[in-house]
Structure formats: structure tokens, C-alpha cells
Amino acid sequence: GLALLNTNDAKGALDPLRRALTVEPQLFDAHLALGKARAATGDAAGAKESLRAAQQLRPNDPRPAAELAKLGG
């Protein structure tokens, strides 16, 4: 999922990232990446949900807040 997102294949990254979170729901990087992928594919509500989950896992990491700001909160 991360590799696909890094090659600008946000749509292709969605399913692998969701599967990773099914196996390990506490994966910060997967939540963050899924939020970015959802945003890139036009799913703002889903992106916010994923980014907020990442934010809860690592409240001191600025990346989820920065991505949420791009989406207007």
C-alpha cells in the first residue's frame, strides 16, 4: 500500500492499506497513508476518519494534523 501511494497510485493503495489495518489496527503509518490515499481519490470524509485515527495513535506527530488542515479540518 505504501509503495503504491509513493508511486502516485492512490487508488491502488486503498485495498492493501485497508487489509493491513484489518490485520493490525494500530498501524500508525497505514492510517496516515490511507488518509492520504483517500484524500487523493476524493474521499474527504474517509480521509478525515483515517487521519484522525492516526492522530489518536500518535498525538504528538504533526503529520496527521497537517494532512487534516489540507482538508479543512
pLDDT in tens, the chain (73 residues): 666 566 677 888 899 999 999 999 999 999 999 999 999 999 999 999 999 999 999 999 999 999 999 998 6
Model confidence pTM above 0.75 = yes
Where would I find the H helices in the chain?
Answer: 2-6, 10-23, 28-40, 44-57, 62-70
Length of the chain measured in residues: 73
Residue 63 pLDDT: 97
